[in-house]
Amino acid sequence: RRPLKSALSRAPRHLKSVAALQIDRSEAAEPAAAAAEHRSAQSTSKPHRPMAAMELETGKVDEALYSRQLYVLGREGQSKMASSTVLVCGLTGTGAELAKNVILAGVKAVTLYDPTPVTHCNLGGNPYARNEDVGKPRADCCAPRLAELNPYVTVSVMKNGNAGEAMGSLHSCDVDEWSARVRGYRCVAICDAVSDEELKAIDDACRRENVCLVACESRGVCTSLFCDFGDDWTVTDADGEPGAACLVASITQTNPALITVVDEQRHGLEVGDIVSLTSCVGCDSLNDRELKVLRVCSPYSYEVDADASSTTPYVSSGYAQHKKGGKVIQHKPYGSQFDDDSFLRCDFAKFERPPTLHNAFTALRKWRSSNGGAFPAEKDADAVVALFEKTSEDKSEEICRDLALTSAGDLSPMAAFLGGVAGQEVLKACTGKFAPVSQYLYHDCLEALPESADRTMKNDKNDSVRVIFGNDMVAKLAKLNYFLVGAGAIGCEVLKNWSLIGLGEKSAGGKILVTDMDRIEKSNLSRQLLFRSSDIGHAKSTRAALAAQQLNPLINVEGVEKRVGADSEDIFDDKFWSSLDGVCTALDNVDARLYVDSKCLFHHKPLLESGTLGTKGNTQVVVPRLTEHYGATRDPPEKSIPVCTLKNFPNKIEHTLQWARDWFEGAFKQVPDDVNQFLKAGNDAFAQELNSQPNTKLDTAMRVKTNLVDQRPSSYQDCVAWARLEFQQCFHDSIAQLLHNFPADQVTASGAPFWSGAKRAPTPLQFDANDATHLEYIRSAADLRAFNYGLKGSDAPEHSTDYIRKALSNVMVPEFKPKEGIKISANEAEEKKRQEEEASSSMIDVDQETSRILKELPSTTSLAGMRLEPCEFEKDDDSHMAFVAACSNLRARNYKIPEADVHQSRLIAGKIIPAIATTTALVAGLITMELFKLLQDKPLEAYKSAFANLAIPIFSITEPQAPKTTVSKIPGGRRKGEEWAWSPWDCIELSDPSLTLKQLVDYFQDEYGLELNMLSYGVSILFSSFANAKKVKKRMPMAITDVIADVTKAPVPSHKKYLVLEAMLQDEDFEEVELPYVRLKLF
């Protein structure tokens, strides 16, 4: 595989020192423009600025680092962030999480301001504070560790003054003081406010200086968020979803014009939306105009403000693109009179909760401001409640009391949740992309609190958990044995949370095992917080484990590189799964999730599941017997592209990209594999191997001969010539042949135009060496061909663009002549029929032709040592994507389909999942909170599954579903008359390893009064009532394990602790009675 052309970051992993920004307030008259340059003019010493950051001065975005995030924010958004500066005040757990997310996202600079000393409670929420930091200023301790996250971001510390003079307090209520402090920043985040007066002063200062404000705090298991982006904040893209591009089926010649789109996709438009028409054949006057939707007639039609009565009739090929516009949002200042609509609700089971939490946080801040910023002890709870303004919610005063009792706790998962949400709000302020929270968001996990607890602090790193859940919870967490499957973005966040809450401590016998097969790549660094540039190329699991150990040296964590699946059941065997207390999945594919879910279902283990897609995230907690399991509901399968659409009738860029991917695999992977198979096997053995592939042997033999004999290149010039001929065949000759079979004016049997609806009449391309896309196709195809054959590519100095053009001028391109008798399928039915006819055609000609070709192949002894290098498509390899994008866009030109650049092509062809650190932190925080409930055996209504979209923003936190049950009435035996309501969590437990088939048959009869009709083990049938009587008689006295060995011709693996048997049972009336599977314990 070719290496990526873009060089890896050379930034050092450990940026040891971050100089402080020491603000001199004596220069109060300094212009705001100078302050905007990250306030460096006010500093007596310059902040640490990594050399890599200099690249940002060119305006170039490092796509290798931010590739997954670019699909969330876009290039424009990323560029805006690269010029934005952010001030973070208050390095609590939430402040640290917010700063981490913003730094990973890639803003220009982040300034930290917090002289508050680190406490033991801070250690449970802040991943950038350590035991040795207790008593030191929080900002000073966190800055150097935060700076390691992204070498492109300048991280600095704002001090209290230049020469020791007081600059003011972090909790100052002086508007002028805060104006001087926030001036020049794009956004200010306040994460540890003590009073409402302080928040109002900060907000007034931000409004005065035209700075966005994000105020947030996490206290115990309650969080608060307030946003103020000013009176007129313009959102360029409210939701981040691409505007729908639909193929136009018809346009009426009326005023207003009625547009109907092909019914493959709903237009999704609303009245007032803007659409742009392109590529219309007919109705030409409407092309490239922006039209307003006047009326939505159906999901597939709408009227626009255009008079089409005098236009030419619409024929085909038009696209209607939704042009998304911006909107203006008005925010009120802090302290204004807010109505109920100002609260963004997360959990509709707690519909009345936001006003209650609003008043509870207000009461808490009143108490803290009167007590020097301290947090209330247990004896002070009543005093806080006395300041609370009661709401209509039941037990609202108890909610306030719980907040007061636990407010000193800085809990990692709650900080992660809020840091994710608030971090995204900061990014909205920097980019103008996505709708901000308007304006309050409150969230709590009060249902996770114990009924009673010993919250006496012990001045150690566990105090943050202890003050919220009590000392018993600390002990329970330390003893846990958990399995984390996946060490990517979510896995790193979860592991960080587990480390900070003290899960799996070695001294208590606990353990965390994390597994992941992947290696760290540069693109991981923008969202996987445990990795640094020096980790690139190393195993994710082992490096994540090492980083987690640094966060908390007391935990027992091990990283392994093992895939979890059927092929590793000798490692992750029944004994292993039985030993676990729970499992957390951080996976990127459904099949792996389903496998892990099946193991948790079988062994009755809780499962913490989560996933992200850009700004969207979801969590699901699976509790044995209490909730449904992950696999109980399935998403519909992804739609595949019909073969004839790919081959002849594409109408979307997705179709041309898939075609280009297939072409890549065939030319640069399949061909080398076929040739290598021949070279390795030898002439005679290769011929025998082909006989085992009757449907493909002729094609395989032809590929080997063509690429080993007829078109084997000996120089880069030969590769260029090959690429030019392939261009001619793909983008001219095959298209001309298609039009020969189906002319542009062809009509169907019903008289309708053949080229209409989703079928777009193509146009053959004429090669032009001066066309950038044409030349890129030639260069990238020739490079890949050269790589296959071990030749120098275009990166060699002698193979310049001029060299390629000269080589092209010497290529003799045969003139196209249409072929008669060529069958091209017009639809899927014809394609299926054609394939069936080919499969059933006489094999005599195929065998003879294959034999003829094989005789023309050279002896492999004359090619000793030769081997081709296959290219396995890699979406992050720029040389691969250069070819795929060029190839796709040329085919798109054939069919007048809007083209896609390499960045967008990479997303589609590579099936990349867009990702950003903020969403990852949010879901990891939410799912970790469920762990505290699991350890207390909470009832179903206490657990929460969640869906969130930070872009809109919307949150939907709900109670998980109970498992579905099947009710079976037992007709006889010892359980006669019983109605057994069983779920997928249930099974029939048997523990006799020597159990015979006869004993099992008798068991069903004696226990349930049911007759065994069929018994299976996996795909093997061990017994059936209609089987050969002799075989049944032979197997009846045999142990089940021996029957399995007899049927499968292999003994039961020694690591299997349980056998899973599926039984079909019937009553005396021959009616089937459904019961759960049988689990037979062997040891």
Instruction: Tell me how far apart the alpha carbons of residues 771 and 905 are, in angstroms, rounded to a whole number.
Output: 19
Instruction: Tell me how far apart the alpha carbons of residues 721 and 992 are, in angstroms, rounded to a whole number.
Output: 72
Q: Nearest-CA neighbor of 160 among 177, 145, 173, 135?
A: 177
Integer distance in angstroms from the first to the last C-alpha of the chain? 47
In 476-550, where do the E strands start and end? 481-485, 511-515
What is the residue-wise DSSP string for 487-539? -SHHHHHHHHHHHHHT-SBGGGT-EEEEE---B--GGGGGT-TT--GGGTTSB
257-261 and 301-304 as β-strands: parallel, antiparallel, unpaired?
Answer: antiparallel
Q: Nearest-CA neighbor of 156 among 59, 55, 37?
A: 37
Instruction: Tell me how far apart the alpha carbons of residues 471 and 469 are, in angstroms, rounded to a whole number.
Output: 7
Are 653 and 888 contacting, i.e. CB atoms less than 8 angstroms apart?
A: yes
Locate 20 and state its tokens.
């402080």
> Which residues, 6 or more positions from 1019, have their beta carbon under 8 angstroms from its beta carbon?
none
Instruction: Tell me how far apart the alpha carbons of residues 551 and 475 are, in angstroms, rounded to a whole number.
Output: 19
Rg (CA), the chain: 34
Please report, as a single letter, which amino acid is at residue 93.
G
Please report, as a single letter, which amino acid is at residue 305.
D
Backbone angles phi, psi at 226, to 5 degrees: -135, 135
Residues 931-951: b if buried by 16+ CB within 10 A, e if exposed: bbbbbbebeeebbbbbebbbb
Residue with tokens 């949740």: 417
Residues 998-1012: b if buried by 16+ CB within 10 A, e if exposed: ebbbebbeebbbbbb
Helix/strand/coil for 956? strand
Are 544 and 593 contacting, i.e. CB atoms less than 8 angstroms apart?
A: no
Residue with tokens 């004999």: 709
Instruction: Tell me how far apart the alpha carbons of residues 874 and 865 are, in angstroms, rounded to a whole number.
Output: 27
Check 644, 871, 887, 987 and give the catalytic one. 644
Locate 347 and state its tokens.
């959990």
Bridge partners of 483?
Answer: 513, 583
What is the residue-wise DSSP string for 618-666? EEEEE-TTTS--GGGS-PPPPPPPPHHHHHT---SHHHHHHHHHHHHII
Instruction: Tell me how far apart the alpha carbons of residues 351 and 346 are, in angstroms, rounded to a whole number.
Output: 8
Bridge partners of 433?
Answer: 237
644 flagged as catalytic: yes
Instruction: Tell me how far apart the alpha carbons of residues 964 and 916 are, in angstroms, rounded to a whole number.
Output: 35
Are 747 and 754 contacting, i.e. CB atoms less than 8 angstroms apart?
A: yes
- Catalytic positions, written as ranges: 644
